[in-house]
Structure 1
Amino acid sequence: MKPVRDDHGNRYLLLKRSERASLVRDPETGDECYVQNDRLEFVAESGLETAAATIDDPVRTLLTNVHDEKTLGLLVELENRGALGVRTLLDAYNLCESDLHGRLTVLSSAGLLAEIDVAGERGYRLTETCELALEAIRTDETAENDENEEPPLE
């Protein structure tokens, strides 16, 4: 499937092309329709990128930058506890300094974390992008469980 755009800027995935018209699918709705070929132009990205673009930006950013459960857990802990200093993160979560630094760098570069001052030392807090992404992927059951849990011990 090749991505195309019509003369109104709408993006589609090309399914079948004939002499005069092409069968296209809207990646957001799944609706299929025929569009005249002279109204279509090919887009310089893969069909998979076009399909991925149907996911909200914050969630896509989270999915493409969080590669394991420890990193996701770090974000959830910052969501639950608020901004934390680097020393607190090192002490509380049993990560070596280089692992923590690598995770914080990736998450900051992706716009999921912001560096701030916490009690006179370097710390981190979630960005609005990260908060939106976590909210979007959280289920009702997960939210209920979080409300009933005790905060983790330091």
Structure 2
Amino acid sequence: MRTVRDESGKSYLLVKRSSESSLVRDPKTGEERYLENDSLDPVEGEPPLETAARRVHPPVRRILTAVPNERALGLLVELFDRGAVPARTLVSSYDLCESDLHGLLAEFRAAGLVEERKIVGERGYGLTDIAREGLELLVGDAEQ
């Protein structure tokens, strides 16, 4: 499988190639169709699995690529449920040591998921809009 682009610049995943046409899949919809080989060019530097990942909504994809484990995901969910929280409260509320908590918050800040906030004069953390949008899609009305 490889990434190809048609004459309009739209990217596809090449599924199967015959002598005159190729079966391609739209990475955003999953829809497959045949296009003439002459209208397709290979895309260098764009691995097909990264192209396939575009099917996942961008804010959700950002969360999935930034979260290393369930505890980290739980921290984002807590910020989603509670809103912005003072750093002191985060340290005392969860079973993370201070360095692990600050490490996760630094990774989430670098990924654009969490931002520093002032909460009643204290330093704290809250979700960015992209994190909130991604979590709204992920959490929904999930059953345990």
Give the alignment's TM-score, normalised by structure 1. Answer: 0.85
2:28 equivalent to 1:28: yes
Q: What CA deviation, in whole Å up to 9, does each residue of 1:80-131 have, x standing for no partner? A: 2211111111111132111011000000111110111122222100111111
Q: Partner residue of 1:132?
A: 133
2:93 equivalent to 1:76: no
Deviant stretches of 4+, over 6 Å:
none
Contact kept, 8 Å, 2:14 with 2:24, in 1: the verdict is yes
- Percent same amino acid among aligned pairs? 52
Greater CA drift, 25-34 or 53-62: 25-34
Q: Partner residue of 1:152?
A: none
Relative distance call for 1:60 and 1:18 in structure 2 (3 A) is: same
Q: Partner residue of 2:39?
A: 39
Relative distance call for 1:29 and 1:78 in structure 2 (3 A) is: closer
Tell me how far 1:141 sits from its aligned partner: 4.3
SS in 1 for 2:79: helix
Q: What CA deviation, in whole Å up to 9, does each residue of 1:19-46 have, x standing for no partner? A: 3322212223333222122211112211
Q: Partner residue of 1:65?
A: 66
Superposition map of 1:92-103 within 5 A = 92-103=93-104
- Counterparts of 1:79 and 1:27 in 2: how far apart (Å)? 29
Q: Partner residue of 2:19?
A: 19
Q: Partner residue of 1:148?
A: none
Gaps of 5+ in 2: none
Q: Partner residue of 1:91?
A: 92
SS in 2 for 1:63: helix
Give the alignment's TM-score, normalised by structure 2. Answer: 0.90
Whichever residue aligns with residue 37 of structure 1, its letter is: N
- Counterparts of 1:90 and 1:29 in 2: how far apart (Å)? 42
- Counterparts of 1:30 and 1:83 in 2: how far apart (Å)? 37
Greater CA drift, 16-25 or 46-55: 16-25
SS in 2 for 1:140: coil
Gaps of 5+ in 1: 146-154
Whichever residue aligns with residue 98 of structure 2, its letter is: E
- Counterparts of 1:95 and 1:30 in 2: how far apart (Å)? 40
- The number of equivalent residue pairs is 143
- Counterparts of 1:141 and 1:13 in 2: how far apart (Å)? 32
